[in-house]
Chains A and B, each alone.
Chain A
Amino acid sequence: MKGRSRRLAYKALRLGISYLVLIVMAIWAIIPIYYVIMLSFSHVTKLLAVSIKDLVPTQVTLQAYRELLFGRFIPSIKAPDFPLWVAHSIVLAAATSLLSIALAMLAGYGLSRLDMPAKKTLATFTYIITFLPVTATTVPLYLLFAQLRLLNYYGLVLAYTPGTAVFAAFLAKLAIDSIPPDYEDAAMVDGLSRFGVFIRIVFRMAMPIVALTALLGFLGAYMDYATAYAFIGANSNQWTAMLGLYYLAGLYNYASAPNYNIFAAGAVLMGIPLMALFLVSQRMMTRAYSSLAGIK
């Protein structure tokens, strides 16, 4: 009897502590996000004026969103700024996606199907490269691109692509490994060229990896600030969404910082879709890995 109640006491204690920790952690995890969402719906204009009352949604207003979407912060631009910045980011990210897909799929196919000389050294070399984040090469790329007049969107796309493409190439290789080569052999016997086989058959069958590459390339390019600032930060009419957000937060130039709730609205508008995309990409990655785990 004593043992049983003791075990029950242990269990209650264990579960009690667990729930307590989880609740505390959950509150901590959610406070900044809740804070920024509440601010975006409030009237607060200055960071210093934020008080605890603002976190309770007594007065919800869409004013910040309206000012964000239709406002013009940088007067020399003839259109509302925020949609323009987002458009720039989307163009940049889409271009990076496409280029990454092209490079990654081609390389993955080569690694998988065809025998390459010095495969191991090449693969090692490119794998090491993936450990360098985009920001590590920002300074060298800037110095080089300044000489080549590539300090613009073209340069940015080129800067973003290798990081994603290298990682995706390995995933592609593993994925293509799992596609039986019979389809291609049959098609080539019928007279289709190797490249045609690649496009028509393998590319289609490896669509999940293609989609994953597209998503990773898109996210990588969209969420970058450092390289974009280095390359095009001086031209406010070329800014991307992340550069715009940095400006809205008042960190770029204190004197011309817009109201703080506009920044909050921007953070929410950008953050929620990006978060969703990120979660999707994570799920795709786990699926890709688990389907490939069988191969090894």
Chain B
Amino acid sequence: MKSSRRSISTVALATIIIVVVVVAAVGGYMAYVSTRHHVTTTTTSTLTTTTTTTTSVPVTTTITTTTTTTTTPQVVTLTVADSYSSSENTAFNASLAAFEQEYPWIHVEVEYGAGVGTSPYTSEAQAHDAPIIIRDSSDSAGALFAAGILVNLSQYLPPSYFSRFNPTAIQDWTLNGSVYGLPDNINYIVMFYNKKFITAPPNTTDQMIQMAEQVNKSGVWGIAYGASDEWGYRFAAWFAGFGGQIFTTQNGMIVPALNSSAMVNALNFWYNLTYDLKVNYLASSTGAGGVEGQLFMENKAAIIFDGPWDLMPYFNALGCNLGAAPLPVVSSTGLYATPFIGSMGWSITTEQANGVPASQWNATLHAALLFIEFMTNYSNEYGLFKYAGDIPALNSAYSAAMQNLSAPTSNTTLACLHQVIKGILEQSQHGQKFPNIPQMSYYWNSFHQYASEFFAGEINAEQAAQGMEQAFISALQSAGYLSPVPITPSEVLTVPELPASRY
């Protein structure tokens, strides 16, 4: 009895102590972690202020505040999120090999097949585990930059450096006067068509409908456009074609302008094509890998709206039957359907996001800058054009691409490809700037929810337009973009009444 009582108390005591220690550790750690963030934000701000004086210094010696002036640079490892397609990767891998040869002290770890968009990077940034270098689209990178996850490149690179790029592309990557990424292509959707069914591309929507009806008779879909899977990226072209715009300015504030007759007409137009004329197939997924693309590549759809990132799969499938042309003019308004002219580019994440220790940050940043400069140089951007048909954002590469396209060639396949690319380039004359303000990230969800309900016949176009606008406004208010002071519930109640939902 005695011995068991002693052993009971030691076990009990030990367990109690362990539990108390664990609880204290967890609580203390949480407190520590929450304060630590504030500490690091102050250190990054001091770092940026000290380097403002070096902006006029040539690129290779930007970080003069580092203490390491040794001749052999510190070995640095860069983690890169590569979102290139497989044909683009042919160019990228060649550039990567050249980079590693020129800078043997920089080790590069590439994650292929990385996604585009904000969510993967924010969760990684949360865990201080984001890759050091990412390749993203200008708008979602804009959201990341506004969220404090990306490095402000204007602090390290002179304005003259940016003028080497297409001005629209750099504009895409500028927010409040700061550049947050270097573009490696410009992109937008175009109208791809199958020459087997359509001999000459339509110039107006009326012509497009006529051709689609013709094609439909032979059992092939005239158009494959998954408007209900849309998040508003491609639909924006049609919205603009009917005279609409996403944002307007009111009293100096940027507000959404989705609720307009342009939206109603654009929605009804596509509804008409899908359900009344039945020339459009409402695909459940977009792009070359989705249902739309698969139909197109199997000669089961004549027209598809997609971008040059999918050029190679389509060309491989259709060969010289592939054609590309700008989106048609909307017959009822006489306006071109103008797609977003966006841009993909390389950015660097902040040390808070990628968790690189402060002692190594300067060297890492230096290496990262070298990397993104290298990947947006003439040879990589021209390579992307050569292997994947991407439109270069660097002026010198763009001119070389134009020259290449105009040069005569005896290779018929190449000639066909050049035709297609020329068609793609024509679209660049009729495009709209891709808004990269943080407000833009709330557009997608608002559009998608009401557009998909509309295409399912649950609400009519007026309700859809009102609904999306309302959802957009609410999201902006909730994020603090539409009101400088915290919202009190009474303010919400003064917002106009929502249209009756189906309940």
In the complex, A touching B (Cβ < 8 A) = yes
Residues on A facing B (Cβ under 8 Å): 46-49, 73-76, 146-149, 151-152, 188, 191-196, 230, 233-237, 250, 253-257
Residues in A whose Cβ lies below 8 Å from that of B285: 254
With A147-B34, A148-B33, A193-B7 as given contacts, are A75 and B112 in contact (CB-CB < 8 Å)? yes
Residues in A whose Cβ lies below 8 Å from that of B127: 146, 149, 151-152
Residues in B whose Cβ lies below 8 Å from that of A191: 3-4
Inter-subunit contact A236/B111 (CB<8 Å) = yes
CA distance A250 to B129 in the complex (A): 26
CA distance A193 to B286 in the complex (A): 66
Inter-subunit contact B287/A254 (CB<8 Å) = yes
How many whole Å from B180's CB to the nearest CB in chain A? 20
How many whole Å from B371's CB to the nearest CB in chain A? 16
CA distance A193 to B5 in the complex (A): 8
Of A188, A237, A255, most B-chain CB atoms within 10 Å = A255
Give 13 CB contacts A-B under 8 Å.
A48-B291, A74-B113, A148-B29, A148-B30, A148-B33, A149-B33, A152-B127, A194-B7, A195-B7, A254-B290, A255-B85, A255-B288, A256-B113
CA distance A256 to B115 in the complex (A): 10
**B124 touches which one: A48, A75, A196, A235 (CB < 8 A)?**
A235
Inter-subunit contact A195/B11 (CB<8 Å) = yes
How many whole Å from A288's CB to the nearest CB in chain B? 28
With A250-B289, A255-B287, A257-B289 as given contacts, are A151 and B126 in contact (CB-CB < 8 Å)? yes
Inter-subunit contact B124/A234 (CB<8 Å) = yes
CA distance A256 to B112 in the complex (A): 11
Inter-subunit contact B113/A75 (CB<8 Å) = yes
* Those of B114-141 within 8 Å (CB) of chain A: 115, 119-121, 123-124, 126-129
Residues in B whose Cβ lies below 8 Å from that of A46: 294
Inter-subunit contact A235/B129 (CB<8 Å) = yes
Q: Beyond the given A148-B26, A149-B127, A151-B129, could you list 12 further A-B residue pairs with CB under 8 A, ordered by the A residue number?
A: A74-B112, A75-B112, A76-B82, A147-B30, A148-B33, A152-B127, A193-B4, A193-B7, A195-B7, A235-B129, A253-B113, A255-B288
Top 8 A-B pairs, shortest CB-CB distance: A254-B289, A193-B7, A234-B120, A255-B289, A75-B112, A254-B290, A146-B126, A76-B111
**A188 touches which one: B4, B29, B129 (CB < 8 A)?**
B4
How many whole Å from A159's CB to the nearest CB in chain B? 15
CA distance A76 to B81 in the complex (A): 10
CB closest chain-A residue, reference B120: A234
Residues in A whose Cβ lies below 8 Å from that of B109: 76
CA distance A94 to B289 in the complex (A): 36
CB closest chain-A residue, reference B124: A234
Asked if B100 is an interface residue, CB under 8 A from chain A, the answer is no
CA distance A146 to B110 in the complex (A): 25
Majority DSSP secondary structure for residues of A touching B: loop
Inter-subunit contact B291/A194 (CB<8 Å) = no
Asked if B78 is an interface residue, CB under 8 A from chain A, the answer is no
Asked if B295 is an interface residue, CB under 8 A from chain A, the answer is yes
Asked if B206 is an interface residue, CB under 8 A from chain A, the answer is no
CB closest chain-A residue, reference B295: A48
CB closest chain-B residue, reference A155: B127
**A234 touches which one: B26, B82, B123 (CB < 8 A)?**
B123
CA distance A188 to B6 in the complex (A): 12
Residues in A whose Cβ lies below 8 Å from that of B111: 74, 76, 236-237
* Those of B303-347 within 8 Å (CB) of chain A: 310
Residues in B whose Cβ lies below 8 Å from that of A250: 289
CB closest chain-B residue, reference A187: B4
Residues in B whose Cβ lies below 8 Å from that of A193: 4, 7-8, 11
CB closest chain-B residue, reference A230: B123
Interface string of B370-391 (1 = CB under 8 A from A): 0000000000000000000000
Residues in B whose Cβ lies below 8 Å from that of A74: 111-113
Residues in B whose Cβ lies below 8 Å from that of A73: 113
Asked if B298 is an interface residue, CB under 8 A from chain A, the answer is yes
CB closest chain-B residue, reference A142: B123
Residues in B whose Cβ lies below 8 Å from that of A256: 113, 289
CA distance A149 to B115 in the complex (A): 23
How many whole Å from A71's CB to the nearest CB in chain B? 14
How many whole Å from B307's CB to the nearest CB in chain A? 11
Residues in A whose Cβ lies below 8 Å from that of B291: 48
Inter-subunit contact B33/A253 (CB<8 Å) = no
CA distance A35 to B11 in the complex (A): 57
* Those of B62-120 within 8 Å (CB) of chain A: 82, 85, 109-113, 115, 119-120
CA distance A46 to B296 in the complex (A): 13
Residues in B whose Cβ lies below 8 Å from that of A188: 4
CA distance A47 to B3 in the complex (A): 71
CA distance A234 to B29 in the complex (A): 25
Residues in A whose Cβ lies below 8 Å from that of B3: 191
* Those of B269-299 within 8 Å (CB) of chain A: 285-291, 294-295, 298
Residues in B whose Cβ lies below 8 Å from that of A253: 113, 115, 289
